[in-house]
Amino acid sequence: MAQLAINGGNKACEHTWPTWPIWDDLERKALNDVLESGNWWYGEKVRQFEQAFADFQGAKFGVTACNGTVALEVALLGLGIGAGDEVIVPPYSFVATASAVLRVNAIPIFADIHPETLCIDPVDVEAKITDKTKAVMPVHALGYVADMDALGELAEKHKLFIIEDACHSWGSQWKSKGTGALGNCGVFSFQHSKNITSAEGGIILTDDEDLADRCRSYTNCGRGKGKSWYEHYLLGSNLRLTEFQAAILLGQLTRLEDQTLKRQSNAAILNEALQGLPGIAVPADEPRMTRRSYHRYVFRVKPDELGVPPERFIEALAAEGVPAGPGYPIPLYKNPLFQKSGEGPAFCPTSCPYYGRKIDYTTVCCPVCEAVCCDTVWLSHTMLLADERAIRDVASAIKKVCENAGELR
Ligand X SMILES: Cc1ncc(COP(=O)(O)O)c(C=O)c1O
Closer of 165 and 375 to ligand X (Cβ): 165
160 touches ligand X by CB under 6 A: no
93 touches ligand X by CB under 6 A: yes
- Judged by CB under 6 A, the stretch of 24-32, 63-71, 126-134, 323-331 that binds ligand X is 63-71
76 touches ligand X by CB under 6 A: no
- Judged by CB under 6 A, the stretch of 41-49, 94-102, 124-132, 319-327 that binds ligand X is 94-102
**Eight-class DSSP state of 113:** B
Distance of CA 258 to the CA centre of its chain: 20
Closest CA to 123 of 88, 97, 173: 88
CB of 69 to ligand X, least distance (A): 3
Q: Which of 96, 107, 137, 146 binds ligand X (CB under 6 A)?
A: 96
- Judged by CB under 6 A, the stretch of 30-38, 41-49, 65-73, 350-358 that binds ligand X is 65-73
Q: Give 218-224's long-range contacts (Cβ < 8 A, gap of 24+).
A: 218/74, 218/77, 218/78, 219/63, 219/64, 219/65, 219/70, 219/74, 220/42
Q: What is the distance between the terminal CA atoms of the chain, rounded to a whole angstrom?
A: 16
The dihedral built from the CA positions of residue 289, 294, 300 and 306, taken in this order, carries a sign that is positive
User: Which of positions 191-210 make contact with ligand X (CB under 6 A)?
Assistant: 191, 202
User: Which of positions 263-322 make contact with ligand X (CB under 6 A)?
Assistant: none
355 touches ligand X by CB under 6 A: no
138 touches ligand X by CB under 6 A: no
Rg over CA atoms, the chain:
22
The dihedral built from the CA positions of residue 89, 91, 94 and 96, taken in this order, carries a sign that is positive
User: Which of positions 239-268 make contact with ligand X (CB under 6 A)?
Assistant: none
Could you tell me if 27 and 49 are in contact, meaning their C-beta atoms sit under 8 angstroms apart? no
139 touches ligand X by CB under 6 A: yes
Measured CA to CA, the distance from residue 155 to residue 140 in angstroms comes to 17
Closest CA to 111 of 98, 95, 94, 100: 98
| Amino acid at the residue 314 | I
Mask 17-56, x = binds ligand X (CB under 6 A)? ----------------------------------------
117 touches ligand X by CB under 6 A: no
69 touches ligand X by CB under 6 A: yes
179 touches ligand X by CB under 6 A: no
Task: Using CB positions, name the residue nearest to ligand X.
Answer: 68
Q: Which residues bind ligand X (CB under 6 A)?
A: 67-69, 93-94, 96-97, 139, 165, 167-168, 189, 191, 202
